[in-house]
Amino acid sequence: MTMAAGGCATAQPRAWDEVPRPTSERDAYGTDIAYARERDAVEEQYSAPEGVEFNFEDGDLAASADYSVERVAQERAVVPEADSDWGATAPTPEPAPRYAQADPPQPRRPSSGGSTVPAEPAPTQTDALPADTALLIYTAVLTVAVLHVEEQQDALQQLAESVGGHLARRDARTIVVRIPVRRFPEVLRATEAAGDVLDRQVETEDVSEEFRDTTIRLRNLEVMRTRLETLLTQASSVNDALAVEREMQRVTDEIERLRGRIRYLTDQIAYSTITVHFRPRAAEIVRVDEFRLPFRWLDRLGLSRLLEVR
Amino acid sequence: MGARRSSCSLVAAALTCLIALSGCGASFELTPPDSFVRLEDDQQEADGYELRAVSNDGVVIAMQVVEHRVTGTLTFWSEAVLRRLRDQAGYGLLSADDVQAATGQAGRILRLGRDLNGRVYRYTVVVYVTDASIFIAEAGGPEEAFVAVEADVEAALRGVRLR
C-alpha cells in the first residue's frame, strides 16, 4: 500500500497493510469504489474546527464567512487601483470565479495510483482553485516623522478599527495594525498623509501555491486518517492495533499542523498588515512659562541688587 | 527750632541730586529723605545706578534711567516691571497706584513685599516714562525699617523732577 501525504509517497510496507481488505470493485482509474464512497461520506461529514470548512468534491474551498478564500479573491479584485503605486502585484481585475464553477469534477485516481492509465489526465486537486486566482499577502512597513507620536498612533488605531481591522501591537514608537485587504489602500494612504514618510516598503507575497498544496495535503491526510480508523477496527492483533494507532497519531499531528498553517495563511490573506514606525519630528520647544522680555534692565530690578551697596 | 529746621533744609538741599545723563540727554532731580546719605556716584554708576542713597537702618533708595529706544507706554513698562518681579522673582504685589512726578510726568508706583533669608522685606518701585527715557525709582529694605520711612521714601520717589 502506498500513501500519499503532502506529495510524499512511501512504499514501505506497514503493519496495517497486512490487514485483509474486503474485496471490492474498482473504477476505470483503479479506485477502490467502496473506499471512494467511504471517503466521500467522510468528506461530507467533515467540518473542520474554528469555522474552517473544506469541500473538495465541488472544488470549493471555503473557510468561515470572514475567511473565505473566495471572498478573499473577490476582495483582492478591488484592491488595485489604476493610479495607485502601492501594490507590487496587480491581482486579476475580474471577480474571481466561484470554485464551484470550475471544471466539473472528474473521476480521480486515488493518491495511491492505479494500474490503469486513464484516457485523459484526471484533474488534480490543485485544480480546485482557479489557476488565475492569486492569493496574496500584503504587508507595508512605513517610517513616518510626525509631531505627536501618540496622537498619530491613536488616530491610526481608530482608523484600523473603523474599517474592520484591529490593533496587533503597539509600543512607544511603533504600531502594527491588521486591515481588511480591501481597505488596505485607503488606510495606507491615510497613514502616509499623517506626516513625512521617511521610508516605505510595500510587499506582496503570493501564497497561492502553498495554500493549494497545504490544502491538498490536508485533504489526503484526512482521508488517510479515516482509512486508518477503519483499519483499526479491523486489527486482528494488539501489535497491529498499536501500529495503526501510532500512525493515526502521526497523521493527526500533521493534520493539526496543516490546519494551523491554513488558518494562518487565510488570516494573512484576508487581513493586510501595516507596521508604522513613528519618529517624533524635531519641534521647537516653547517655554511659555519662562517667557522673558528681552530688556536687560528689567533683570537689574529687585532687592538683591538694590541692597548690595558698596 | 527754627534754626534746626533751617539746618535740615540745608542738608536736604545738599542731598538733592541733579543728574544730567549725557548719554540720552535725560536728567532728574531726586531728593532722598533726611535720614539717607547718597553714595559715591562713580561706584553707583559702575553698578548701573544713577543714584543710590542709604539709611542707617538698611533702607536703600535708587534711580535707574534707561534709554527709551524701544518705545512703549507707561502701562506696558509698568506691567513689564510688575511681571518680572512678581512672576519671575517671587515678589508679592501689595498695592499699585498712578502717581505724578513733580514735573508732571505720569508714573506708576508698585508696592511689593518679599521674604529674603527669613526676613520680610518691602520693595517699592516707581516707573516714569518719557519720550527719551524710562526712569525707575526704587526703594527697599527690611520691613520694619522701611515702614518707618515709607512715607518719606514715597514722597521722595513721587517728588522726582524729570527732564
Single-letter amino acid code for the residue at A237: S
Interface test with B, best of A288, A296, A301, A304 (most B CBs within 10 A): A301
- Grid cell at residue A224: 488517510
What letter would DSSP give residue B132? S
With left for phi above 0 and alpha for psi between -120 and 50, is residue A204 left, alpha or beta? beta
Calpha distance A137→A203 (Å, rounded): 8
Single-letter amino acid code for the residue at B137: A
- Specify the pTM: 0.41
- The answer, yes or no, to whether residue A78 has pLDDT greater than 70, is no
Residue ranges of chain B with per-residue pLDDT less than 50: 1-15, 17, 22-23
> Which is more confidently placed, A222 or A284?
A222
What's the whole-number mean pLDDT along residues A128-149? 80
> Which is more confidently placed, A223 or A29?
A223
What's the whole-number mean pLDDT along residues A154-181? 94
What is the model's pLDDT at position B151? 95
Highest mean pLDDT out of A41-45, A146-150, A277-281, B140-144:
B140-144
What is the model's pLDDT at position A133? 73
CB B142 within 8 Å of CB B58: yes
pLDDT tens track for A262-281? 999 999 999 999 999 988 77
Highest mean pLDDT out of A14-28, A125-139, A248-262:
A248-262
Mean pLDDT over the full length of chain A: 68
What is the model's pLDDT at position B88? 82
- The percent of residues above 90 in pLDDT, for chain A, comes to 41
What's the whole-number mean pLDDT along residues A65-77? 45
- Grid cell at residue A160: 484600523
Nearest CA to B133 among B24, B49, B48? B24
- Grid cell at residue B23: 548719554
Angle at A193 between CA A189 and CA A194, to 5 degrees: 120
pLDDT tens track for A54-69? 333 333 333 333 334 4
Q: What are the CA-CA distances from residue A178 to residues A89, A137, A139, A269 (Å)?
A: 19, 12, 9, 11
Query: How far B3 CA sits from the closest chain A CA (Å)?
Result: 33
Q: Is A298 on the interface with B (CB under 8 A)?
A: yes
Query: Which residues on neighbouring strands pair with residue A197, listed in sequence order?
Result: A144
Calpha distance A276→A273 (Å, rounded): 10
CB B77 within 8 Å of CB B134: yes
**Residues of A with CB below 8 A from B43's CB?**
310
Calpha distance B36→B56 (Å, rounded): 7
Q: Is B78 on the interface with A (CB under 8 A)?
A: no
**Residues of A with CB below 8 A from B141's CB?**
307
Interface test with A, best of B38, B81, B93, B143 (most A CBs within 10 A): B81
Whether residue A295 and residue B48 make contact (CB cut-off 8 A), yes or no, is no
Total CB pairs under 8 A between chain A and B = 55
pLDDT tens track for A221-232? 999 999 999 999
What's the whole-number mean pLDDT along residues A213-222? 95
What is the model's pLDDT at position B77? 96
Whether residue B138 and residue A306 make contact (CB cut-off 8 A), yes or no, is yes
What's the whole-number mean pLDDT along residues A241-258? 95
- The answer, yes or no, to whether residue A216 has pLDDT greater than 90, is yes
Nearest CA to B125 among A305, A294, A297, A303? A303
Query: A91-105, A126-140, B136-150: lowest mean pLDDT where?
Result: A91-105
Does residue A33 sit in helix, strand or coil? helix
Residue with cell 509698568: B78
ipTM above 0.90, yes or no: no
3-state helix/strand/coil string of A37-81: HHHHHHHHHCCCCCCCEEECCCCEEECCCCCCHHHHHHHHHHCCC
Q: Is A292 on the interface with B (CB under 8 A)?
A: yes
What's the whole-number mean pLDDT along residues A92-119? 34
Does residue A1 sit in helix, strand or coil? coil
Calpha distance A296→B88 (Å, rounded): 14
CB A77 within 8 Å of CB A93: yes
Which band of pLDDT confidence, cut at 50, 70 and 90, is reported for residue A206?
A: very high
> Where does chain A show beta strands of DSSP type E?
3-5, 8-10, 53-55, 60-62, 136-146, 166-170, 174-180, 196-206, 271-280
Calpha distance B102→A56 (Å, rounded): 108
What is the model's pLDDT at position B135? 95
What is the model's pLDDT at position A282? 65
Single-letter amino acid code for the residue at B30: L
Nearest CA to B85 among B66, B51, B109, B65? B109
- The answer, yes or no, to whether residue A83 has pLDDT greater than 70, is no
Q: Where are the alpha helices (DSSP H) in A46-175?
A: 69-78, 149-162
Which band of pLDDT confidence, cut at 50, 70 and 90, is reported for residue A109?
A: very low
Single-letter amino acid code for the residue at B70: V
DSSP B66-127: EE--S---HHHHHHHHHHHHHHHH--EEEEEEEEE-TTS-EEEEEEEEEEETTEEEEEEEEE
Angle at A261 between CA A259 and CA A266, to 5 degrees: 95
What is the model's pLDDT at position A37? 53
